[in-house]
Amino acid sequence: MDNVTEKLLECFGHRKFKSELQERAIRAIARGVHDVFVSMPTGSGKSLCFQLPAMLQDNKVAIVFSPLLALIKDQIDHLTKLKIQAESINSKMTSKDRERVINDLRSLKPDTRFLYVTPEQAATGTFKSLLEHLVKYKKVSYIVVDEAHCVSEWGHDFRPDYLKLGDLRESYKSIPWVALTATASAEVAKDILSNLKLLQPVAQYKTPSFRKNLYYDVVYQNCIEDEVGDLCEFLKKSLKEDDNVKPRDKNAVIVYCRTREQTEDLAHMLNKRGLKSLAYHGGLKSSERILVQERWSSGDCPCVCATVSFGMGVDKATVRAVAHWGLAQNVAAYYQESGRAGRDGKPAFCRIYYCRNERNAVDFLLKTEIARARTPEQKQRCKNAYKSFEIMVRYCEEVKCRHKTFAEYFGEETPRCAGRCDACSDERAVRRALEQHQRRAMS
């Protein structure tokens, strides 16, 4: 046992690392030679990647930038429970409290191990002079940027104040920086490295996108006689299992739709065809939404037809199929939504029931948004959204390994698909279907 694994148990109570990647990232950050970029999905334990290395350096404090006071509070509560001193400086505190924190940090040997601040706070004079003091007296272990995708206009939660953090990176070259995010796209990663001005070469630790238990394919709605019937068969086949499973471990499926009406219509038609289904969308009362989610999670109803609002906090491991009715908004969203399938590691199916009309509907909506955008930044973001959508369309209208498209999008090497998508398992059939689709869409 070395001091890294020792601290893992002693400070955080874990006997093992959550993954090999987590361990490698932690060891790289602990070495402190390079700036480190970590991209791992939500829940994979990114916080520990900087928290553990910070605990290896006595009498030093890690500065952590985080976008929201609510997130900051969660992290501080978590560390406090572990008896690790974590503080924040923010506008919601009493001046007395703020003074207490600052006095400790300005003392010879601070007790504070983590100081959490929002990027807005980082721009204040109070913080800047404090940071200068801490750096001058070598009291900073790391500077950490959590939720680092906020620095990118390609991300969902762009925050202009995050951009200013790049100037700090330039001012304090002696301290290693760590940037973490769950957003994995290549564009966002590129923005994080360049906008935060991380020092090259940056060590990068990314979860590969390839999940070999997921089979991806595309079906063209205009090439089949009975679309709903085909969907129903696909779902029923995916759901098949032994009878003696506990209700909560029963197989389940999700059908994602663009509109509320579609969720209701499809649920209705699937019920008529003997597949017990419920609709889920933002128009339902929150009590109804909770009920749908509970009936689905508990194994009472195997199928949910939902808008993309379904999924936050859904952690059912036995989702055997995720179907998209029409298409998804973009490749990142599609990867995330379809990725709810097969969390147990067993085979699962992800299928798009592609439809030109749906494509045109989304196309129109996104173009309207571009036209309506007021500021240049808004316009840029809308244009980015449109470009992402175009990649999604190409995914559907191209004969190419589906896993490869994801890998390219996330800036990774081509994975070994070995027949885990339609294009790799039967390229000619996919080509034929696509040609038929295009002929019919023209006429």
Which spans of this chain sit near Mg ion (rule: CB under 5 A)? 46
Residue 90 neighbours by CB distance under 10 Å: 16
Question: Cβ of residue 54: shortest distance to ligand ADP, in angstroms?
Answer: 13
Closer residue to ligand ADP, CB minimum distance, 260 or 343: 343
Nearest C-alpha neighbor of 117 from the set 147, 137, 96 = 147
Annotate each residue in 14-53 with x if it binds ligand ADP (CB under 6 A) or - if it does not, as one string: x-xxx---------------------x-xxxxxxx-----
Q: Using alpha carbons only, give the angle 249, 252, 253 rounded to the nearest 5 degrees.
A: 160
Annotate each residue in 315-334 with x if it binds Zn ion (CB under 5 A) or - if it does not, as one string: --------------------
For residue 265, the Cα-to-chain-centroid distance in whole angstroms is 30
d(CA 225, CA 231): 12
Q: 231 and 352 in contact (C-beta within 8 Å)?
A: no
40's contact among Zn ion, ligand ADP, Mg ion, none, with CB below 5 to 8 A by partner kind, is: ligand ADP
The contacts of residue 384 (CB under 8 Å, 6+ apart) are: 153, 154, 187
Q: Which stretch binds ligand ADP (CB under 6 A): 10-18, 208-216, 382-390, 410-418?
A: 10-18
- Residue 428, exposed/middle/buried by CB under 10 A (0-12, 13-18, 19+)? exposed
State the DSSP code for 421: B
Q: Which stretch binds Zn ion (CB under 5 A): 220-228, 244-252, 293-301, 423-431?
A: 423-431
d(CA 147, CA 180): 6
Question: Cβ of residue 124: shortest distance to Mg ion, in angstroms?
Answer: 24
17's contact among ligand ADP, Mg ion, Zn ion, none, with CB below 5 to 8 A by partner kind, is: ligand ADP
Closer residue to Zn ion, CB minimum distance, 294 or 427: 427
d(CA 94, CA 241): 58
Question: Cβ of residue 417: shortest distance to ligand ADP, in angstroms?
Answer: 27
Closer residue to Mg ion, CB minimum distance, 46 or 169: 46
Question: Cβ of residue 407: shortest distance to Zn ion, in angstroms?
Answer: 10
Closer residue to Zn ion, CB minimum distance, 34 or 403: 403
Q: 76 and 116 in contact (C-beta within 8 Å)?
A: yes
Closer residue to ligand ADP, CB minimum distance, 45 or 110: 45
Question: Cβ of residue 323: shortest distance to ligand ADP, in angstroms?
Answer: 27
Cross-strand bridge partners of residue 219: 353
Torsion sign (Cα): 214, 254, 248, 238? negative
Q: Return the SS3 of 162.
A: helix
- Residue 265, exposed/middle/buried by CB under 10 A (0-12, 13-18, 19+)? middle
Question: Cβ of residue 180: shortest distance to ligand ADP, in angstroms?
Answer: 7
Q: Which long-range contacts (CB under 8 A, 24 or more apart) does 20-27 make?
A: 21/205, 21/206, 21/207, 22/48, 22/49, 24/205, 25/49, 25/205, 26/52, 26/53
The contacts of residue 266 (CB under 8 Å, 6+ apart) are: 228, 231, 255, 257, 277, 279, 305, 325
Q: Which stretch binds ligand ADP (CB under 6 A): 11-19, 228-236, 247-255, 329-337?
A: 11-19
Cross-strand bridge partners of residue 206: 39
Question: Cβ of residue 71: shortest distance to ligand ADP, in angstroms?
Answer: 10
Closer residue to ligand ADP, CB minimum distance, 43 or 274: 43
> Taking the chain, what is the end-to-end CA distance rounded to the nearest angstrom?
69
Closer residue to ligand ADP, CB minimum distance, 48 or 255: 48
Residue 401 touches Zn ion, criterion: CB under 5 A = yes
Closer residue to ligand ADP, CB minimum distance, 51 or 263: 51
d(CA 29, CA 282): 42
45's contact among Zn ion, Mg ion, ligand ADP, none, with CB below 5 to 8 A by partner kind, is: ligand ADP
Residue 424 touches Zn ion, criterion: CB under 5 A = yes
252's contact among Zn ion, Mg ion, ligand ADP, none, with CB below 5 to 8 A by partner kind, is: none
Closer residue to ligand ADP, CB minimum distance, 146 or 422: 146
Q: 367 and 386 in contact (C-beta within 8 Å)?
A: yes
According to CB under 5 A, which one of 421, 430, 433, 434 is a site residue for Zn ion?
421
Closer residue to Zn ion, CB minimum distance, 140 or 417: 417
Q: Return the SS3 of 178.
A: strand
Question: Cβ of residue 63: shortest distance to ligand ADP, in angstroms?
Answer: 17
Binding-site ranges for ligand ADP (CB under 6 A): 14, 16-18, 40, 42-48
Applying CB under 5 A, the residues found at the interface with Zn ion are 401, 403, 417, 421, 424
